[in-house]
Structure 1
Amino acid sequence: MAAAVALVATWEGLRTVAYRDVVGIPTVCFGETRGVKMGDRYTVDECKAMLGDGLAEFEQGMRKCLKAPDQIPAKSYVSFLSLSYNIGTGAFCRSTVARRTNAGDIRGACNAIPAWNKAGGRVVKGLVNRRAEEQKICLEGVAG
């Protein structure tokens, strides 16, 4: 979980006051959008706790749609959790990443990560960069 917290925190960044993300969704802390209203404020410690709780929740959802989550290499698992946190459990579970993982093709799943580079229907440079890092870490897991 520590590796997932570090990866997600790095890419989401920390903002203690609610702001609108690139597609206008109220967001706060480390990319939290659920229940966020403009004007919301949190302390750094509250944001860290929110990230930990959020990752645990997204991990539960992600594990439900994976046939053998405990057999996924650790680095690949962390990459999948970062992706799930960012795109949502439903989108992750319907993704080629999840389908390939369930078919036993972890490398193929890793190589499907970069497709998730859009927000609001347009390619976002930050997502391109994040997906490249998630894919790199994922493939490191496959390589051993």
Structure 2
Amino acid sequence: MSLRTKIAAGALAGAMGMAGALVTWFEGRSLVAYLDPVGIPTLCDGITAGVSLGQTATDAECDALLAGELGAALAAVDRHTLHPQPDTRRAALASFTYNVGAGAFARSTLLRLLNAGDVAGACAELSRWVFAGGRELAGLVRRRAAERELCEVGL
């Protein structure tokens, strides 16, 4: 199934469904903790909080962790944006926030531009967030391109 198909299917569940499609597509799922490209212990669909190497989880546990973390990311987007956003943009921003953290989103130029009404400029900022550990990662380039495309729907 393509990413476009997953997002279209996720659209039935609104922003949460679309964001979930993005996150699971780009994070992948591992039931055993591993080190991500910058050396952070990671489990399930990119979960890092409280994870240690050797830790394991079931699919059901991963589903619950994903729902909780994605819900928190979407809540952070809604809390920090001053104007209502369409579900496509909320989904893109929730995927981004899930990946970089609510604090980074709250301090970002992206959010400042969005809140100032420069939606195109805000969406363009996503393309700048492709570095981890001081190096550009191809996976982040692809993820940000997909998030940006979804962010720009309707512009």
Same fold (TM over 0.5): yes
Q: Secondary structure of the residue that 2:33 maps to in structure 1?
A: strand
Rounded Cα–Cα distance in structure 2 between residues aligned with 1:26 and 1:62: 25
Rounded Cα–Cα distance in structure 2 between residues aligned with 1:53 and 1:119: 24
The equivalent of 1:80 in structure 2 is: 93
The equivalent of 1:35 in structure 2 is: 50
Contact persistence 2:74–2:94 (CA under 8 A): yes
Task: Report the AA paired with residue 56 of structure 1.
Answer: G
Rounded Cα–Cα distance in structure 2 between residues aligned with 1:109 and 1:78: 14
The equivalent of 2:116 in structure 1 is: 103
Task: Report the AA paired with residue 19 of structure 1.
Answer: Y
Task: Report the AA paired with residue 127 of structure 2.
Answer: P
1:49 deviation in Å? Answer: 1.2
Rounded Cα–Cα distance in structure 2 between residues aligned with 1:60 and 1:73: 14
CA deviation profile, 1:19-74 (whole Å, cap 9, x unmatched)? 00000000000000000011110111111111011111122223222212xx2121
Superposition TM-score, scaled by structure 2 size:
0.87
Identity of aligned residues (%): 43
Q: Secondary structure of the residue that 1:72 maps to in structure 2?
A: coil
Contact persistence 1:29–1:47 (CA under 8 A): yes
The equivalent of 1:45 in structure 2 is: 60
Count of aligned pairs:
140
Task: Report the AA paired with residue 139 of structure 2.
Answer: G
Contact persistence 1:72–1:106 (CA under 8 A): no
Rounded Cα–Cα distance in structure 2 between residues aligned with 1:128 and 1:19: 21
Q: Secondary structure of the residue that 1:24 maps to in structure 2?
A: coil
Stretches of structure 1 that go unaligned for 5 or more consecutive residues are none
Task: Report the AA paired with residue 48 of structure 1.
Answer: D
Superposition TM-score, scaled by structure 1 size:
0.93
Contact persistence 2:130–2:136 (CA under 8 A): yes
- RMSD of aligned Cα (Å): 1.0
Stretches of structure 2 that go unaligned for 5 or more consecutive residues are 1-15
